[in-house]
């Protein structure tokens, strides 16, 4: 991969979404590994970055996170991600580790220091460091924060989307507050590993009524045989994905028929198309569910069009 200073004239040109790249994007492309992490007020080399063994994130998974796409050096839907972080922190009564405006600066600086042009920025906040006790630590204990950023290869993602992915289904045995984006992800980890060990990329979680809730790290969608686009309502049973919310707006603009309701695994097996959404993958077509082909086994036109148009509906910051 070629990387190095961008021709300064290029910064004045609009990219193909009709927007200018910000001046802090000095690199066309980036080295494959991220190198700097922001940890509680300091930018550290990844080798030296560590957290206290009594951090409540480490001991109790007592924390929350956000993951935001970086595209052409810009943050995608930052406002909504920060809003969801606010909600997660409020629900768990964790204090902001720094002012939201300062967090916005730290996110950009972490992206810049890691020379991420296309990739992700990850923010994790925990209830801080305290002697191990299940109850909350004394008032005033500062929250801990870590911010990292990493490059992703957009071409590899496009190749995957052109092929589509396989998913398996597993029982959803998570707690009842999966609407909070907590770092407590053990059921998701186990579900994802089941998928990997069966040669699939994602596991769809299925509730006790046989209805799909969401993927282990994605929201789940189908297109029915009569062309309706269906995804589960964002109640307490799923995470309200930012990609999901933007896509609902995009669907309406495109005049597609949208139904926000739970769908069964049987309905998914019979669907014309299926796909998953997440900030790191946008819209990823699903071509196989539990070993059965979805439609003709190729990415469908609805998923493909939504993937192509997604960033026109997203907010660029």
Angle, helices 301-313 vs 242-253, to 10°: value is 100
- Regarding 277 and contact with ligand PDD (CB under 6 A), the answer is yes
Q: Would you give the binding string for ligand PDD spanning residues 138-157, x where CB under 6 A is met?
A: --------------------
Among 166, 278, 284, 314, binds ligand PDD (CB under 6 A): 278
Q: Residue 62 or residue 295: which is nearer to ligand PDD going by CB? A: 62
Rule CB under 6 A: which of 38-77 touch ligand PDD? Answer: 67
Stretch that binds ligand PDD, among 5-13, 124-132, 144-152, 211-219 (CB under 6 A): 211-219
Minimal distance in Å, beta carbon 111 to ligand PDD? 16
- Regarding 219 and contact with ligand PDD (CB under 6 A), the answer is yes
Among 35, 280, 290, 313, binds ligand PDD (CB under 6 A): 280
- Regarding 239 and contact with ligand PDD (CB under 6 A), the answer is yes
- Regarding 200 and contact with ligand PDD (CB under 6 A), the answer is no
- Regarding 182 and contact with ligand PDD (CB under 6 A), the answer is no
The residues, any chain, with a CB within 8 Å of residue 187's CB and separated by 6 or more, are 172, 173, 174, 205, 216
Minimal distance in Å, beta carbon 239 to ligand PDD? 4
Among 34, 126, 218, 304, binds ligand PDD (CB under 6 A): 218
Q: How many CB atoms lie within 10 A of CB 21?
A: 18
- Regarding 194 and contact with ligand PDD (CB under 6 A), the answer is no
Q: How many CB atoms lie within 10 A of CB 180?
A: 17
Minimal distance in Å, beta carbon 251 to ligand PDD? 15
Minimal distance in Å, beta carbon 5 to ligand PDD? 31
Minimal distance in Å, beta carbon 141 to ligand PDD? 26
Catalytic site positions: 181
Among 72, 78, 214, 273, binds ligand PDD (CB under 6 A): 214
- Regarding 21 and contact with ligand PDD (CB under 6 A), the answer is no
CA distance 106 to 84: 18
- Regarding 119 and contact with ligand PDD (CB under 6 A), the answer is no
Q: In the bound complex, which residue of the shown chain has the CB atom lying closest to ligand PDD?
A: 241
- Regarding 213 and contact with ligand PDD (CB under 6 A), the answer is no
Q: Reduce the secondary structure of the chain to three states and give it as a string.
A: CCCCECCHHHHHCECCCCCECCCCCCECCCCCCCCEEEECCEEEECCCCCCCCCEHHHHHCCEEEEEEEEECCEEECHHHHHHHHHHHHHHHCCCCCCCHHHHHHHHHHHHHHCCCCCEEEEEEEECCECCCCCCCCCCCCCCEEEEEEEECCHHHHHHHHHHCEEEEEEECCCCCCCCCCECCCHHHHHHHHHHHHCCCCEEEEECCCCEEEEECCCEEEEECCCCCEEECCCCCCCCCCHHHHHHHHHHHHCCCCEEECCCEHHHHHCCCEEEEEECCCEEEEEEEECCEECCCCCCCHHHHHHHHHHHHHCCEC
Number of residues in contact with ligand PDD under rule CB under 6 A: 15
- Regarding 242 and contact with ligand PDD (CB under 6 A), the answer is yes
- Regarding 170 and contact with ligand PDD (CB under 6 A), the answer is no
Q: Which positions lie near ligand PDD, rule CB under 6 A?
A: 67, 188, 214, 217-219, 239, 241-244, 277-280
């Amino acid at each position: 991969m070629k990387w190095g200073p961008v021709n300064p004239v290029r910064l004045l040109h609009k990219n193909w979404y009709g927007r200018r790249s910000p001046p802090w994007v000095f690199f066309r492309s980036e080295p494959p590994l991220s190198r700097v992490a922001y940890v509680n007020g300091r930018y550290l080399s990844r080798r030296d970055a560590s957290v206290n063994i009594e951090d409540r994130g480490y001991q109790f998974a007592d924390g929350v996170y956000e993951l935001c796409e970086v595209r052409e050096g810009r943050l995608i839907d930052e406002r909504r991600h920060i809003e969801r972080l606010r909600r997660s922190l409020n629900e768990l009564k964790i204090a902001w580790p720094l002012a939201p405006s300062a967090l916005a600066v730290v996110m950009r600086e972490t992206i810049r220091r890691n020379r991420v042009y296309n990739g992700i920025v990850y923010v994790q906040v925990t209830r801080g460091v305290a002697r191990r006790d299940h109850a909350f630590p004394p008032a005033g204990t500062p929250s801990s924060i870590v911010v990292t950023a990493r490059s992703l290869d957009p071409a590899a993602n496009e190749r995957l989307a052109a092929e589509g992915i396989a998913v398996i289904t597993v029982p959803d045995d998570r707690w009842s507050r999966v609407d909070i984006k907590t770092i407590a992800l053990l059921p998701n980890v186990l579900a994802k590993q089941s998928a990997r060990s069966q040669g699939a990329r994602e596991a769809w979680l299925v509730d006790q009524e046989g209805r799909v809730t969401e993927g282990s790290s994605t929201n789940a969608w189908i297109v029915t045989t009569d062309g309706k686009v269906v995804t589960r309502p964002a109640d307490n049973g799923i995470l309200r994905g930012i990609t999901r919310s933007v896509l609902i707006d995009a669907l309406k603009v495109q005049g597609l028929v949208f139904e926000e309701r739970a769908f069964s695994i049987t309905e998914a097996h019979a669907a014309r198309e299926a796909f998953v959404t997440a900030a790191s993958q946008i819209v990823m077509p699903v071509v196989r569910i539990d070993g059965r082909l979805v439609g003709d086994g190729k990415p469908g036109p609805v998923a493909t069009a939504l993937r192509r148009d997604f960033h026109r509906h997203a907010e660029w910051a």
